[in-house]
Amino acid sequence: MSESQRYHVIEKIAAGGMAEVFRGESAGIEGFRKKVAIKRVLPKLSANSEFIQMFLDEARLGAYLCHSKCVQVFDIGQGGGAHFIVMEYVDGADLKEVLDYLSAHKQQMRIEVACRVAMDVCEGLAYAHAACDHTGRCLDIVHRDISPHNVLITRFGEVKLVDFGLAKASSHLNAEDEDMVKGKFGYLAPEVTMGQRPDKRVDIFAAGILLWEMLAGRRLFLGDTDVETFKLVRAAAIPDPRQFRPDIPDDVLTVLGKALAKDPAQRYQSGNDFARDLGLVLRKLSRPVTYLDIAEVVRLAADERARRRKAEGKTQAGDIGDLVLDALHQFSGSPGSVASEAIRATLGTPGIEAGGGGFEDPSAWGLDAVFEEAARSVPEPEAIEVEPDEPDVPAPPPRPQAPARPAAPARAAAPAAAPPAAPTEGAAPPARPRVQDDAPKKEGPFWRRWFGN
């Protein structure tokens, strides 16, 4: 299979100001298919060399990350001048969709669930911060864009970090990069707003913001404008979340206060430290929490989103129209739209499809000629004539000779022929006739007897 036929676009699932994401499939031989997510730069940004370089950095950094708490990057490509990244497809919802669902239904996330999600985020950050390249050199990765949009949660309660597009290895930073403010304003760390060099502690602060918002059910830093939001972050005045939720334990507030410390030196210095304290807090809470508790709320949010899309006419086979990428279709070898794809052969298992066509008739393999030629090369034994229709009954034994009797008078008629005498004692009994099998027998080479004619 050629490189240009590896991916196929199914539907558009998300869009932002810089890129859009599609659900797709990675195709292989023998009907192999795997769901993937394809993130493509918007056409208006394709000419922005700085952004494209940042986009490519995401792919290169993602190639080094292989952890259950990080979305994996599989490939990178370019079609029609548009760059795109092929990533792991996460079937679920992002944290923002979960929080929006709870807010719309006047619900609050359980304290245990919020702490567990935050702990998983810290685990992913700890791995990314310590990631090394192929030579073993630490990359010193800083995500710099930890926000609800970039925390994906599967329907099975798995938490994964995504979108390292703003991440930079510290060895690649220059003076201009250090002065550039990147990321969503409401999730920046105070030192970033002051122009200081960002390090892994800015991700710790952002993870603390996520925990605060999951507990309080509202945004922490949100002004009427971006400038006001920027000023709120710089001031770093953290309201007590118990004014919105009085049942938050003191231990949770202690951990939260350290994560959201304005001074980076007073903050958790690593994701491992933050995660360790969250684990201790979870042990003290009366109600245990597992991935099943996370999965429950994620499924509710994902199902509501699916119903909303269906109502809007955006089902999987819906009208994508111009949203389907011509460049990606050209790259993937697709005929131009998902609707015009050839009908796929469905396997016996519901929901599993194969792309290799229908079942192949073995008679088309040319085995007849192969086996007939092989049969002709083997000498046949001499044929023995057998009458299969006659029962195998042995001839009756000869009758014993009767003693000579005097000749009968001439007028006496010859006696009638006597029936055959019974076999003498000790003689073998006659063989039983074989039962004829009325079922038709399959003939020909052995493969016909396996697959049928």
Indicate the CATH number of 1-89 among 3.10.450.30, 3.30.200.20, 3.40.309.10, 1.10.357.10: 3.30.200.20
Residues 177-200: what's their mean pLDDT? 79
Which tokens in the block code for residue 95?
């944290």
Looking at residue 268, its pLDDT comes to: 97
Q: Which residues form the catalytic set?
A: 145
- CATH number of the domain located at residue range(s) 91-316 in this protein: 1.10.510.10
Residue of 41, 37, 38 lying closest to 17 (CA atoms)? 41
Q: What whole-number distance in Å separates Cα of residue 298 and Cα of residue 97?
A: 9
Q: What whole-number distance in Å separates Cα of residue 213 and Cα of residue 217?
A: 5
Residue of 279, 265, 104 lying closest to 191 (CA atoms)? 265
DSSP state of 40: E
Q: pLDDT-based confidence at 45, cuts 50/70/90?
A: confident
Residues 96-115: what's their mean pLDDT? 96
Q: pLDDT-based confidence at 42, cuts 50/70/90?
A: confident
| Bigger pLDDT: 438 vs 291 | 291
Q: What whole-number distance in Å separates Cα of residue 88 and Cα of residue 85?
A: 10
Looking at residue 82, its pLDDT comes to: 81
Stated pTM of the model: 0.67
Looking at residue 430, its pLDDT comes to: 60
Domain boundaries, the chain: 1-89, 91-316
Does the structure show a pLDDT above 60 at 412? Answer: no
Q: Which of 81-95, 283-297, 331-345 is predicted least confidently?
A: 331-345
- pLDDT tens digit sequence for 216-225: 999 999 999 9
Looking at residue 111, its pLDDT comes to: 96
**Cα distances (Å, whole numbers) of residue 297 to 70, 101, 102, 286:** 21, 9, 8, 20
- pLDDT tens digit sequence for 191-201: 999 989 899 99
SS (H, E, C) 328-370: HHHHHCCCCCHHHCCCCEECCCCCCEECCCCCCCHHHHCHHHH
Provide the percentage of residues in the chain whose pLDDT is more than 90: 40
Does the structure show a pLDDT above 90 at 103? Answer: yes
